[in-house]
Amino acid sequence: MGGIGCGFSIVAAIFAILAFLPLLGWLNWLTTLPFAFLAIVFGMFGLLSNQQRTAAALALVVGFIVLFWGIFRLLLGGGLL
């Protein structure tokens, strides 16, 4: 589960970088926030199942960072831009 969470967090981070460009803030709603949330969920399951604890912890940390970054970016653009 930790590896899956890491994959989701990497995908979320890539979309967060793309969504930082002007007029692409809507990507946060469609890609960044859902993938970051999935990374957090799979990271939590990975920590609870005691398999790949390092990958699961990394997925949790990166997932939370990307989630807060996406929310911050949405606040800057008024929720759309």
Alpha carbons 55 and 58: distance in angstroms, whole number? 5
Domain count across the chain:
1
Residue 7 lies in a domain: yes
| Alpha carbon separation from 21 to 25, 32, 37, 38 (Å, rounded) | 7, 13, 21, 23
Q: What is the pTM of this model?
A: 0.87
Residue 19 lies in a domain: yes
How do residues 27-67 score in pLDDT, each as one tens digit?
A: 889 999 999 999 999 999 999 988 788 999 999 999 999 99
Residue 71 lies in a domain: yes
What residues make up the domain containing 9?
Answer: 2-76
Residue 31 lies in a domain: yes
Residue 81 lies in a domain: no
